[in-house]
Structure 1
Amino acid sequence: MKLNPVLRNESKLSVRTPRFSLMLLVYIAVLSVGTLIFYSSYSSDVYASGVNPQGAVTLYIIMAVIQAILLMFIVPSLTSTSICSEREKQTLDILLSTRLSSFQIIFGKLLASSLKVIMLIICTIPLYAICGLIGGIKLGNILILVGSFIISTIFVGSIGVFISTYSKTSKVATALTYALVLFIFVGTIVIAYIFLLINTYRMGYNGKTPEISPIAYLSPATGFFVMLSNQVGFGGNSVYFIGQVGLSKYADYISIGVQIILSFIFIFLAGRRLNPLNRKKFKLRKKERSKKKVKE
């Protein structure tokens, strides 16, 4: 199988840079320091009260939440400039003149940027393994969490590449990517919660449980919360809350499916935008419309 030339070239160049090594070091160091602090305090409690598997569950949840927040800020910065940087360096036309199709270029840029983050995710697996050694966390839970992080990385990366094809400068692309990612992760939940309050007010207290708007499933945060609740639970309150707002217990799988579908849509739109033939057709149609207006 022939490797995508853009992916091969971008991966070689990015991995060899000191910036990537420094980012990998800082990322692992932040999670490692937090894990060591928690583990040292946990070890002191073990001598007094014995092994408590709940400590491993708490560590697992804290690490998962911190990593999810870090990834939400790291991925847009890496992917939002993938096409803009080529345009600013005036190398995009050269890249488009090769035998590669626009979709191959988009896939190569997306995978090259996502592989950096996937390496960060894989490097944190030994830290999660500490939770398995203490007890309370299964290996399957760790693998499912890592897989969901990888899918979310590709999803956010597809948003960054999509915006990068429509933006002319890297600063504008980065700002728009962060804004759209924040809206999808947080804004959709806020909108769904507002609709839930409105439906609750309209229904009154008639004993029926109002269901949350399907808009909430657009946010990966919804699937992430339900996934952690299904794996380790947050106590009875979380299960009660999920039932009260009408969330499905399979919301994590629904969220993953939505992310995969939206990723393909963003990639398809980015490929069509990058295709020079589509841009020529658009310019010709624009000229024809302007000529018709002049004649009229």
Structure 2
Amino acid sequence: MYLFENPVLQKELVSNLRMNRTFVLLFAYVALLGLLVYAAWPAEERLDMSNSDKAKPLVNLLFLGQYMLMSLMAPSFAAGAITGEKERDSFEMLMASPVKPGAIVFGKLAASLCPLAELMIGSLPVVMLCLPLGGVQFFEVVAAYVAMISSVALFTAISLWCSSYFSRTSSSLVVSYLLILPLAMLGVFIWQALEQLGPARLVVVCGVVPVACLSVTAMLLFDTSRRLLAAPDLGSAGQQAIDLGTEAESAVGLYIKREEFPDRLFAPPKRTTFLPEDANPIYDKEIRSEIFSQGTLMLRLVIQISMGLALPLMGILLFLKQHLAPWYIAYVLLFNMLVGPVFTAGSVTSERERQTLDMLLTTLISPWQMMWGKLLSGLRVSSVLTAFLMWPVVLACIMPLDFWYNLPTMFGYFVVVFLACCTTAMTALFCSTLFQKTSTSLLATYLIIITLFLVPLAADRFVQFFGKSGTAEDFVQLAGIASPFVAIFNLPLEVASSPGPPQGSLPLFFGHLVFAILYNAALLCTVMWLFQVRWRVSDN
């Protein structure tokens, strides 16, 4: 009932195997790893295999790269496992079936893990090609894969657990990322710290890590099954009606008061008066009702998790070790990468899913009002949430610290963060106009943003570590203008705790500003064209 005769698992596997994207993803993943190995392969014509450690940096690159990729991909497969049933109006039928809740949860977990397991197993031959270079033993590769598979199983269980708490995949996805990414980074630090232990690392990785991960996974699956046993009251077509007043009474921890400051900055109260003549009805509907129509649980969790992580980072990076201030800004940018697209990626796709797009297009509201209303509502929420994390930077500038003498640099940090907020929101709105489903739009937005923000960093580290040609270095440096992370780390910061003279490249900073403005302007023009031409021709 749980494995071989599990109808949920069979249905999920059959539907996934019939889709071309599974095989395309496997091919692209293995091809990417193969290209990385080819690009990083030693240039020497002859290698001394008896005294060589060329395989060690390659295997570390492939393992850590796969580990982070699997951590990012796990929520995309599991965060919509249960919320997807609610969005497809099939959750009520699933709950009425004779399948046990434990079998449902296990089937969803196994079905989500299968594509990830295919990718990890498919990469083994590529990793094995590096072993003849020397420096890495076969058992070290096995230990690394055992730890990675155990961690990915835990991350998938976390995503499935989040999926049981929300009604929308986008909410489940962002909370999953906020929980998983700190754990993934902690795993990387532990792996690097255990490198000096030698054989003892194999014992820890093969013994402690799998037991800990599987134990937490079992507890999460048990709690998810318990939640399915005590499912909330459902209305027509399995939809759960959420009353904000009732939710506020039962809320644990943070409580959002939409009538008070600063809560009303991102969650204004519902309108009780008539709409003014010059007001934008789309903006008013989105910011006051649509974004919070499924309750404020996701918003409360986002604020609590982000502030909980920010407190120790703020104390260390801004006040104790001031030369590491760019790393705190990097945390703020990473937060906006995850949270920013959520409030805009469903702006248009939600209209399609509710089949209200045709009615919207036949109103007297202009395309300009539609676009600005949906963009500004999502941008307002994401930028205010991001600004909460920037208040410690303002405090650090006011206090008698070395930041007082670096005000232009601190101002540059704020400019980069603001442009990042605009980029994530504009990219999400663009994807929302192209795709039919909110989940697809959100994942496409994440893919574009990761490519723009993080790939230049990874390429720069790759070129520096493996010492490639000067042409490759110039190309990678030019591509760095797309990343706000590159911009903040190239702003000069002169503080007493800095181990050396201030370093930075202002051309890269200003290059990023120009790129971000042009990129957002291009997307803005494209979205305006889609609002005016594409929909009115194809959808009506």
Fold in common (TM above 0.5): yes
The alpha-carbon deviation at position 38 of structure 1 amounts to 1.8
Please give the secondary structure, in 2, of the residue aligned with 1:121: helix
- Establish whether residue 131 from structure 1 lines up as the match of residue 127 from structure 2: no
Q: Over residues 179-215 of structure 1, what are the superposed CA-to-partner deviations in whole Å (9 max), with x where a residue is unaligned?
A: 11123334xxxxxxxxxxxxxxxxxxxxxxxxxxxxx
Distance 1:227 1:15 in 2: 39
Per the alignment, residue 229 of structure 2 pairs with 275
Unaligned 5+ runs, structure 1: 187-218, 234-247, 281-289, 291-296
The alpha-carbon deviation at position 226 of structure 1 amounts to 4.9
- Establish whether residue 181 from structure 1 lines up as the match of residue 180 from structure 2: yes
- Give the aligned residue type for 2:110: L
Query: For 1:130-279, what aligned pairs fall within 5 Å after superposition?
Result: 130-186=129-185, 219-226=186-193, 228-230=195-197, 251-252=204-205, 253-276=207-230, 279=232
Distance 2:121 2:9 in 1: 19
Distance 1:228 1:78 in 2: 31
- Give the aligned residue type for 2:191: F
Query: For 1:1-80, what aligned pairs fall within 5 Å after superposition?
Result: 2-39=4-41, 42=42, 44-47=43-46, 50-51=48-49, 53-80=52-79
Larger mean CA deviation between 63-72 and 133-142 belongs to 133-142
Distance 2:79 2:12 in 1: 15
Distance 2:63 2:196 in 1: 12
Distance 1:7 1:26 in 2: 25
Per the alignment, residue 200 of structure 1 pairs with none
Identity rate, percent: 20
Distance 2:232 2:58 in 1: 51
Distance 1:249 1:70 in 2: 23
Shift in CA distance, 266/11, structure 1 to aligned 2, threshold 3 Å: same
Higher relative contact order (CA 8 A, sep 6+): 1
- Residues 77, 112 of structure 2: 8 Å contact kept: yes
Distance 2:142 2:96 in 1: 41
Q: Over aligned residues, Cα RMSD in angstroms?
A: 2.5
Please give the secondary structure, in 2, of the residue aligned with 1:45: coil
Please give the secondary structure, in 2, of the residue aligned with 1:14: helix
- Establish whether residue 85 from structure 1 lines up as the match of residue 39 from structure 2: no
Please give the secondary structure, in 2, of the residue aligned with 1:21: helix
Q: Over residues 112-161 of structure 1, what are the superposed CA-to-partner deviations in whole Å (9 max), with x where a residue is unaligned?
A: 00111001000011011112233332222222222222111110000000
The alpha-carbon deviation at position 250 of structure 1 amounts to 5.4
- Residues 105, 224 of structure 2: 8 Å contact kept: yes
- Give the aligned residue type for 1:29: A
Give 1 or 2 for the bigger CA radius of gyration: 2
Shift in CA distance, 57/249, structure 1 to aligned 2, threshold 3 Å: closer
Unaligned 5+ runs, structure 2: 234-245, 247-540
Distance 1:249 1:50 in 2: 26
Greater helix proportion: 1
- Residues 155, 262 of structure 1: 8 Å contact kept: yes
Distance 1:231 1:147 in 2: 17
- Give the aligned residue type for 2:38: L
Per the alignment, residue 295 of structure 2 pairs with none
Q: Over residues 38-94 of structure 1, what are the superposed CA-to-partner deviations in whole Å (9 max), with x where a residue is unaligned?
A: 22xx1x3143x6445311111111111111111111111111111000111011111
Shift in CA distance, 30/228, structure 1 to aligned 2, threshold 3 Å: farther
- Residues 83, 163 of structure 2: 8 Å contact kept: yes
Q: Over residues 224-281 of structure 1, what are the superposed CA-to-partner deviations in whole Å (9 max), with x where a residue is unaligned?
A: 3356555599xxxxxxxxxxxxxx99553333322111111111111111114x647x
Distance 1:53 1:230 in 2: 20
Distance 1:34 1:105 in 2: 39
Distance 1:257 1:168 in 2: 32
Q: Over residues 11-58 of structure 1, what are the superposed CA-to-partner deviations in whole Å (9 max), with x where a residue is unaligned?
A: 11112212222221221121110011122xx1x3143x6445311111
